[in-house]
Amino acid sequence: MGRRFVSFGIGGSRWCLPVADVVQIVRNENVHALPHAQAPVAGVITLHDDVVPVVDLRERLAAERPADAAVAEKRRRILVVRFGGKTCGILVDEVRELVDLEEHRDAGAAAPLADCAAGSASRGEVSLPILDVVRAMQGGGGRQA
């Protein structure tokens, strides 16, 4: 029996996260920029009276920007996730679907910037890298956002 994942798009690639790690999915609205914050930090949002840092996964993965930027911006979403007792937001290009996949915690996930992959999840011909939230929250030089 598989595990349920939420799949999402960044640039031209698809990724996934276990549904159990996702607290909420919100529109890309009201992200407040932080002075002197460096990429990939997009800013912060207020969610249920909590201040939640948001990392732009497109920036983190150095993924390509869509050709039609105006349409693409409307599709962007923030995946609010919980890890290690912390809550953060991950800005993605689009949320695709909920899927049941078999999880493989292999070290060699074939994905752009595979250092952000915690393995892969697959069903038949479909195989998606599983986002490692802790590594994704780290910017250049191993700095945690």
pLDDT tens per residue, range 98-137 = 999 998 876 454 544 567 888 889 988 888 999 998 888 7
Measured distance CA(93)–CA(58) in Å, rounded: 7
Q: Which of 13-22, 63-72, 107-116, 121-130 has the lowest mean pLDDT?
A: 107-116
For the chain, what is the domain count? Answer: 1
How many CB atoms are located within 10 Å of the residue 52 CB?
21
Q: Percent of the chain scored above 90 by pLDDT?
A: 46
Domain enclosing residue 95, as ranges: 3-142
Asked if residue 81 has pLDDT above 50, the reply is yes
SS3 label, residue 72: helix
Query: Residue 72 maps to which CATH number?
Result: 2.40.50.180
Q: Give the predicted TM-score (pTM) of the model.
A: 0.84
CB 88 within 8 A of CB 139: no
Give the bridge partners for 83, in sequence order. 86
Tokens 């598989």 sit on residue: 2
CB 6 within 8 A of CB 90: no
What confidence score (pLDDT) does residue 70 get?
Answer: 72
